[in-house]
Amino acid sequence: MILKKIFLVFLTAALFFGCATAEKKQSENGELNEAELSYLADESQHRTFLNSVKEEEAVLRKVSAKALINSNGYDKLEKLMSRELESGQGVGIAAPQVGVNRRLIIVQRLDKEGQPFEFYYNPEIVKRSGEQKEGWEGCLSIPAGFGKVMRWYEIDLEYDRLKEGAVVREHEKIRGFTAVIFQHEIDHLDGVLFIDRKSGDEPLMPKDEYYEMRRREKAAAASEEKAE
């Protein structure tokens, strides 16, 4: 009986260790684990995570793990991200914002014809150059409002893409406001929110006030153009 109990304890420990090791390997190579796949399969849980909700902020503050392009479940993750981005009318979103801590983002390429929305797996900024500018930023995960942030306006980016069925590393130089979007979204992958980089001590401008300010600015610019 004693030997049987020892054997059962050993077997349970071995199974637990085996499962933990398998999940660790999945995380390291970028495959989604069972918990992530289960979450993606349950549409009732899908939403944009907010920093104003304690449990959701914990996800937003976590450093994300590698993502493996074209592997099981990432098609569902891409669809979820696209849906939440469209719903929020944003220009970018990161996987942690929909509850999955993987290094995957969507960015609207305002620097390309048609301004398409594109996915980027394991993006990394390898160089920042040019000048820094201060500009307004908001976030789908921060309902409190908008703030000003200093960002680089030229970056060198590396990311994974599929080429003839193989994952290859791509390099691209990006400039202008699109570079700002990439910096904002890649920050999310490291648990950093724009409020961590906000200039000055002023509180965030509520969203309705920000949109009204932008409306007045556009009206004034249109009036000046008409007068000329």
Tell me the catalytic residues.
185
Give residue 35's identity as a one-letter amino acid code.
Answer: A
Dist. CA 217–CA 223, nearest whole Å: 10
Query: HSE on the CB side for 178, CA within 13 Å?
Result: 19
CB-neighbour burial class of residue 15 (10 A; exposed 0-12, middle 13-18, buried 19+): exposed
DSSP code per residue over the chain: -HHHHHHHHHHHHHHHHHHHHHHHHHHHHT---HHHHHHHH-GGG-----TTSHHHHHHHTSPPBP--TTSTTHHHHHHHHHHHHHHHT-SEEEGGGGT--BSEEEEE-TTSTT--EEEEEEEEEEEEEEEEEEEEEEETTEEEEEEEEEEEEEEEEEEEEEETTEEEEEEEEEETHHHHHHHHHHHHHTT--GGGSBSSSPPPBPHHHHHHHHHHHHHHHHHHHHH-
